[in-house]
Structure 1
C-alpha cells in the first residue's frame, strides 16, 4: 500500500535527507517489506523469506498431524526474524492509520500542536489496545483459560502455542519495537521522548521475558486485563482533547476504578501462578518463581505510585 507523504512544505526535500526519509518513510519501509513477500514467490528464495513471515519452531511434527489437528509451536531464535518483519509492517500500518484516520479527525478538532502530539499517541494506542483485547480475549477463550485458573501453569514449561497464540506475542513485541523508530518518523519532541521510550521499553522487555521463559499464558491474561483498562483511559483522553469535559470526567472516573481493579487482579493471578501453582513443579526453580512474582508485583506497585500523577499520560 502506498501512503501519501505529509505535505509539510511546498518544496521537495533532497533525496535521502532527513525530511525526505520522514515524509516517505512508510513507502520506503513498505518496499523493504515487499522484498520478503516477493521472496515467497520464488523457489530459491522461499525458504529464506518464510523465516521472516511464517511462524516456526513447530512443537507438532508435520508427519504426526491428523486431519483437523491444529499445529502448535514453541519459541526459538527464528522468532527474531518474524519480529523484525512485523515491526516493518507495524511502521506501515502506523502511517496508514495516521494518514487516513487520525489526521482527518485532528483537522476537524483544530487542536494545538501540543495536543496534536498527544492525540496522535492516544489514537494509535487506542486502536492497538482494542485489537489486542479482542484478539487476546479470543485466544483466552480458545485456550480454555477463562474459567480455569490452573491452566495458567499446567504442563509448564512444555507449553505449546497455537498459531494465533504465538502470532499474538510476535505482534506484541513487533508493535512495541516499532515505537522506537516512530519517535524519529513522527518528529516527537525531545522532552516527550523519555516517557515514550520508558513505557515502550517496559512493555517490550516484559513481554519478551514472559515469551522466552514460557510464561505466555499468564502474560496473555495480564496483557488483556491491562489493555482493557488502558482502552478506557485513551477513550477518556481523546474525549478530553475533543473538548467534552463532562463526558471526559465520567470516562476518567471509570478508568480510575478499572486501573486499581486491574492492578489487584494482576497481583492475584501472579501470586496464584508463581507462588502456589508452580510450587510443586520441579522444572522451575524457586529463584525463577520468586523473580517472576517480584517483577510483576514491582511493576504493579510502580504503576500505582504513578497513578495520582497520571491523568493525561499513558501507563506502561
Structure 2
C-alpha cells in the first residue's frame, strides 16, 4: 500500500504503478485542493470539491436553516470524497490490517479476503453510526409516516445529503481500491465478478433512492443493510483468527433473514401503501415528483428482486456449507480403524521368575551346569 518505502520501482503510469501508489496519488490531489483554499483566486473552485453547492436557506422562528439539493456539481464533491476514502483505506491497510495479517500467516486467498473484510468492517461501522445519527436526529424512527409524507423530499438538512451522497463513493474505492485492484494484480480474478456484482447493486439502489427523492427510506434501508454486512465481516475476521470460531456466523445467518424481511416490509409499506395514498401523483421531474404507478412498480420490483437474489445466494451458500460439512463427517465415519498388530506369542520357559532369574518349580535353576573335565 501507500506511505511505504519500496525497493522495486514500476514504470510511470503503468498498471502496477497506479495500484501500488493510488493512495499517494489521491493524497497529492487532495493536497492541491486544500492549498487552493488558501488563495482568493482559487478558493471558489476549491469549495466545489468540499461542500454541496445546491443549498437553500429556509427562515425559521429563531434563525435560518440551510437545506440542500442534488445536482451535477455534486459529481465533483463525490470525486473529492473518493480521494479522501482512498487515503483512509491506505492508512487502515498500512497500520492495522498488514500488522495483523503478518501474525496470522494466511494463504493468498485468505489474505485477500481478510483485507477485504477488514476494510469493510471500518466502512460499515462508520456508515452505521452516521446513518443512525441522522435517523435519530430527524425522528424517522419515532415517526415512520415521515418516510412518505410530504413527498417529494427535495430539500434535506445538512446530515442528509452526505449520508446518501457520500456513502456511494465511499463504498466504491473501499471495494475497488482494496479488493478488485489488488486481486487483479495478484492474480485472484475469480473474486472480481463477485465484488463487482455487489458494487453495482449498492450503487443502483443508492443512486435510485437519491435521484428519486426517497432519501429517508434509503437511509433506513442502508442502516439495516450495513448492520448486517458489519456483522458478517466481523464474523469472517474472527474466523480467520480462529477457524473453530463460527458462532458469529450463526448469529449473522439469523440476522440476515430478519433483515431481508424488514427491508421488504418497509419498502412495501412506504412505496406500495404510503406513496399510493398521496394526493399528488403527477410525474413532474422539475419538482422532483416521481410518484406514479409505473415508478412505484419499478421501485418495488427492483427492491424485491434484489432481496430475492440475496436470499437465494444465501440459501445456496448455506446448503453448500452443510453439504461439505456432512460429506466431511461421513468420510470420517467410513475410514476403517487402524488394524491392531497381533501379539507375538512368547514361549516362556518352565518355572517362574525371581529377581530376573528363572527358577524351576523346586527352586533350583532350570539350566544345567556344565561339568568341568578333570
TM-score, reference length from structure 1: 0.90
Match of 2:34 in 1: 37
Larger radius of gyration: 2
Mapped contact 1:5–1:24 kept (Cα < 8 A) = no
State the alpha-carbon separation in 2 of the partners of residues 82 and 295 from structure 1.
28
Match of 1:218 in 2: 217
Residues 137, 119 of structure 1: alpha-carbon distance in 2 compared, 3 angstrom cutoff:
same
Match of 1:190 in 2: 189
Task: Name the SS of the counterpart of 1:131 in structure 2.
Answer: helix
Match of 1:291 in 2: 298
Q: 2:57 aligns with which of 57, 60, 63?
A: 60
Segments of 5+ residues of structure 2 without an aligned counterpart are: 282-290, 319-374
Which shifted more, 65-74 or 50-59?
Answer: 65-74
Mapped contact 2:165–2:210 kept (Cα < 8 A) = no
Superposed displacement of residue 125, structure 1: 0.6
Q: Does 1:275 align with 2:282?
A: no
Residues 111, 98 of structure 1: alpha-carbon distance in 2 compared, 3 angstrom cutoff:
same
Superposed displacement of residue 114, structure 1: 1.1
Segments of 5+ residues of structure 1 without an aligned counterpart are: 312-316
Superposed displacement of residue 69, structure 1: 4.3
State the alpha-carbon separation in 1 of the partners of residues 274 and 133 from structure 2.
24
Instruction: Deviation per CA, 1:119-176: give whole Å up to 9, x if none.
Output: 0001111111111111100100011011211010111114421112111112211113
Q: Does 1:266 align with 2:263?
A: yes
State the alpha-carbon separation in 2 of the partners of residues 199 and 147 from structure 1.
31
Mapped contact 1:176–1:201 kept (Cα < 8 A) = no
State the alpha-carbon separation in 1 of the partners of residues 57 and 315 from structure 2.
48
Match of 2:316 in 1: 309
Mapped contact 2:53–2:73 kept (Cα < 8 A) = yes
Mapped contact 2:271–2:296 kept (Cα < 8 A) = yes
Residues 14, 295 of structure 1: alpha-carbon distance in 2 compared, 3 angstrom cutoff:
closer
Residues 290, 211 of structure 1: alpha-carbon distance in 2 compared, 3 angstrom cutoff:
same
Mapped contact 2:153–2:215 kept (Cα < 8 A) = no
Superposed displacement of residue 3, structure 1: 4.3
Q: Give the 5 Å matches for 1:148-187.
A: 148-178=143-173, 179-182=175-178, 183-184=180-181, 187=185
Superposed displacement of residue 276, structure 1: 0.8
Task: Name the SS of the counterpart of 1:162 in structure 2.
Answer: coil
Higher relative contact order (CA 8 A, sep 6+): 1
Mapped contact 1:82–1:170 kept (Cα < 8 A) = no
Count of aligned positions: 304
Q: 1:145 aligns with which of 140, 143, 158?
A: 140
State the alpha-carbon separation in 1 of the partners of residues 29 and 70 from structure 2.
25
Superposed displacement of residue 223, structure 1: 0.6
Aligned alpha-carbon RMSD (Å): 2.0
TM-score, reference length from structure 2: 0.77
Match of 2:200 in 1: 201
Match of 2:108 in 1: 113
Match of 1:239 in 2: 238
